[in-house]
Amino acid sequence: MRFHIVGATLMLVAGTYIPVAAQKPTDFIWARSWQSLVTVPAPITGWVNRTAIPNEYLEVNVARGTIHIEGGASDRIDWVVTQRLDSIMGMSESARNAFISGSVGTTTWADRFTLRVGTPSADTTIHARAELQLRVPRDLKLLHLNLHGAGDVVVDNFAGELTVTADSGYITGTNLSGSTILEAREGGVALDLSATPFQAGPISLLSHDGSITISFPPQPSVVLELNTNCGNINSALPLTDARPLPGAGRLPLQVGNSDLDCALRPKSLPALPGVSHLHGHASVTLGSGAVTLRAMALQGDINLTTNPAPASGQCAEIPELGKKPDGSPVLATVIGRVLAADGRTPMGGVRLQIQGTQSGTWSDPTGEYRLAFDPHLLAKCRKLYVVVDSPGYATQILTLMIGPRVRADDVVMRKH
Amino acid sequence: MQDELASALQSLSTGTRLQAINAAASNGQHNDAIEHALITALLTDPNTNVRMAAAEALGRIARPDVLRQAVGRALTAEKSLFVQMTLLNIAGQLPMAERRAAITPLLDRVDIDPLATNDARDRVRDTPRGDSR
């Protein structure tokens, strides 16, 4: 059994040499703080039956933290809220717990049910946040999520309408089959459409600073309306019959990358087999165009990839690695290397974080990283997404999946 | 058609509102009621994706004088950079005098991202850039 990370875009970009000074040694100091998160021992739990939710409309508002949602067969909505914060030197545990006691509340309105997770502290320098684990009926009609501060949103296996607004985190969606309307203001969006065909409703994706990565089955049936401003469209799908979007001033996709308003971006992209590099605005119909997908990225890229849908019952078994003395699961590890934009120079101090989990690591000065995670998160053909981040460089979203190799593909960073 | 649109735009479902706007845009019909409904969505809908779709729909079907007024009103208050950029794209189809009238409210604001400000300035220049804008 092997785990590996694959680059979501299969993209290499020529760029400039990254000086050692740019490798941000202070990031390692921050890393130690980041890894020493403490947890309040008693999470806050609650539940509500779907019959008590007006219009089957569940609204979730979280001040700051991670929202992890999984659809299931139950008719009950269950939540677990855990408050976390970085260690604070010199503060006793009791004082710390009192300090981060956040609020969790519910309200039944005339038209909806609201779950509200308040901020533990208004002081954003404390790095306090909530982690919300939510189980919902897979076919609940309306699920609206609003994440007002830093943090990610991860949604898996949901067939109702999903609307998400995240101020500064990443939004990841897998196994979604209803209307999907996502807005990531400072983060990115990763949507995996390869396993579950969309049946109804529009898909609309917005990303301000981050990238939009969409995985399709090999022969998708979709109308794509793509808008890029500074970023590029890196597509493994054929976009040869692109038409202008209605409205003056919009031209069909242009081959090559955009350098409009983006002087720091490289002027040219090396050709890669099977990947088109384009920019602009266009509508493209693939297959019978059963559903419309609109994506707009202002600063980042739009990455269109294809993944073969796993055949029913063909998901690989996740090995049972056992448990540690404290009862926590033994973790699997994926290893790999981060390189600068020239594709050769090792790049240290780059953060890799699995979205929606506490699993994260940093590349060392030789560019190598070891990323430990709970392998059970990959059960039932699920994928995980890894955000690769370094100040001054374009954030990348990679896919973590079960694969035949020990080592991951090299991650090649590039400047904004 | 306009009754269906107005009704759908009252829905709690973001997807229903989006679908109704997309249908109105692809239908190609335009009259006062449809334009009014789309302008209301552009100015008041809480979801950014919906306001953006309403702006694009207006760009496809609204008469130029209605479009200029709608873009001008929206650029006075719209906070989302996505919608601002979409409105600037749409304003590009207006004649220069009307384009300037529509875009100027944005340039008067102090809370605008430089991306939108630069784009707006480019669009009201006498000599346009030699690119797709």
Of A200, A168, A196, the residue nearest A183 (C-alpha): A168
- Does residue A237 have a pLDDT over 50? yes
Q: In what order do the strands lie in the sheet with A332-339?
A: A368-373, A332-339, A411-412
H or E, element range at A142: strand A142-147
Question: Angle at CA B117, nearest 5°, toward B114 and B122?
Answer: 125
For A286-321, the pLDDT digits (tens) are 888 778 899 998 887 888 887 765 554 556 666 667
Residue B93 in this model has a pLDDT that exceeds 60: yes
Q: Which residues of A touch B82 (CB under 8 A)?
A: 183, 206, 208, 296, 298
What's the alpha-carbon Rg for chain A, to the nearest Å? 21
- Checking if the pLDDT of A17 tops 50, the result is no
- Which burial class, exposed, middle or buried, applies to A42 when counting CB atoms under 10 A from its CB (0-12, 13-18, 19+)? exposed
In angstroms, how far apart are the furthest CA atoms of chain A?
65
Task: Please tell me the distance in Å from A142's CA to the nearest CA on chain B.
Answer: 7
3-state SS assignment for residue B38 = helix
- As a whole number of angstroms, the distance between CA A73 and CA A137 comes to 6
More confident of the two residues B117 and B1:
B117
Counted residue by residue, chain B has a size of 133
Place of tokens 């209301």: B40
* Identity of the residue in A57, A201, A254 whose CB atom sits nearest the CB atom of B15: A201
Q: Quick check: A94 pLDDT over 50?
A: yes
First CA to last CA distance, chain B? 33
> Per-residue confidence at A10, pLDDT binned at 50, 70, 90?
very low
Query: Does residue A300 contact residue A212 with C-beta atoms inside 8 Å?
Result: yes
Mean pLDDT of A339-366: 84
Q: Contact, A187 vs A171, CB < 8 A?
A: yes
Confidence check: pLDDT of B72 > 90: yes
Q: Tell me how far apart the alpha carbons of residues A302 and A261 are, in angstroms, rounded to a whole number.
A: 17
What pLDDT does A14 receive? 23
| A231 contacts A300 by C-beta, under 8 angstroms | yes
pLDDT band at A81 (very low <50, low <70, confident <90, very high): confident
Please compute the mean of the pLDDT values over residues A388-394 and round it to a whole number: 80
For A177, phi and psi rounded to 5 degrees? -135, 15
- Is the confidence at residue A95, as pLDDT, over 70? no
Instruction: Describe the crossing of helices B48-61 and B32-44 by its angle, rounded to 10 degrees.
Output: 150
> Are A296 and B19 an interchain contact pair (Cβ–Cβ within 8 Å)?
no
DSSP state of B126: S
pLDDT at A7: 40
Calpha distance B62→A129 (Å, rounded):
46
- Is the CB of residue A158 less than 8 Å from the CB of residue A69? yes
B89 contacts in chain A (CB < 8 Å)? 247, 249-250, 281
Residue B13 to residue A292, Cβ atoms within 8 A = no
**pLDDT mean over B43-62:** 94
Backbone angles phi, psi at A377, to 5 degrees: -65, -15
Q: Which two tokens stand for residue A169?
A: 């985190």
Instruction: Return d(Cα A150, Cα B87) in angstroms, integer.
Output: 28
**pLDDT of A56 strictly over 90:** yes
3-state secondary structure string across A238-250: CCCCCECCCCCCC
pLDDT in tens, A200-230: 678 999 998 778 888 888 788 888 888 887 7
- pTM confidence score: 0.77
- Across A36-57, average pLDDT: 79
Element at B69 (helix H, strand E):
helix B64-77
Report which listed range, A5-14, A17-26, A305-314, A317-326, is most confident.
A317-326
pLDDT at B7: 92
The 3-class SS string of A27-53 reads: HHHHHHHHHCEEECCCCEEEEEEHHHC
Please give the Cα distance from A275 to A190 (Å, whole number): 18
Mean predicted lDDT score pLDDT of chain B = 89
Q: Are A208 and B82 in contact (CB under 8 A)?
A: yes
More reliable by pLDDT, B1 or A357 = A357
B106 pLDDT band, cuts 50/70/90, is: very high
Angle at B126 between CA B67 and CA B43, to 5 degrees: 25
Best-predicted range by mean pLDDT (A16-30, A305-319, A343-357): A343-357
Q: What is the pLDDT of residue A149?
A: 82
Q: Angle A230-A234-A235 (CA atoms, 0-180°, nearest 5)?
A: 140
Residue to substitute from B10, B11, B18, B22, interface A, most A β-carbons within 10 A: B18
List of chain B residues whose C-beta atoms are within 8 Å of the C-beta of residue A250: 89, 132
Q: Would you state the pLDDT for residue A60?
A: 96
What does the DSSP 8-state code read for residue A407?
B
Top-confidence range, A9-23, A36-50, A236-250, A333-347? A333-347
CB neighbours of residue B33 within 10 Å: 13
**Does an H or E element contain A59, and which?**
strand A57-62
The Cα A192–Cα B133 span in angstroms is 32
d(CA A212, CA A301): 6
Residues A401, A388 contacting (CB under 8 angstroms): no
Q: Check CB contact under 8 Å for B59 and A229.
A: no
pLDDT higher than threshold 90 for residue A59: yes
> Containing H/E element for B102?
helix B96-107
Summarised one tens digit per residue, pLDDT across range A144-173 is 999 988 888 999 999 999 999 998 888 999
Sorted by sequence, the CB contacts under 8 Å of residue B99 that are 6+ apart come out as B68, B91, B92, B123, B124
- Residue A69: pLDDT band by 50, 70, 90 thresholds? very high
How do strand A37-39 and strand A76-86 relate by DSSP bridges?
antiparallel
| Average pLDDT of span A71-94 | 75
Answer whether A255's CB lies under 8 Å from A279's CB.
no
More confident residue, A28 or A179: A179
State whether residue A385 sits within 8 Å of chain B by CB.
no
User: Is A86's pLDDT higher than 60?
Assistant: no
Quick one: pLDDT at residue A147?
92
DSSP 8-state class, residue B62? S
Q: Do A206 and B48 touch (CB under 8 A)?
A: yes
pLDDT, average across residues A53-73: 92
Instruction: Write out the two tokens for A92.
Output: 């006793």
Of A142, A281, A292, the CB nearest to B22: A292
Q: Which of A49-53, A246-250, B109-113 has the lowest mean pLDDT?
A: A246-250
The Cα of A61 is separated from the nearest Cα of chain B by a number of Å equal to 15
Q: Which residues pair with A180 in a beta bridge?
A: A162, A203
Q: With 0-12 CB in 10 A as exposed, 13-18 as middle and 19+ as buried, what is A237?
A: buried
Q: Work out the average pLDDT over A375-391.
A: 76
Q: Tell me what pLDDT residue A97 has.
A: 57
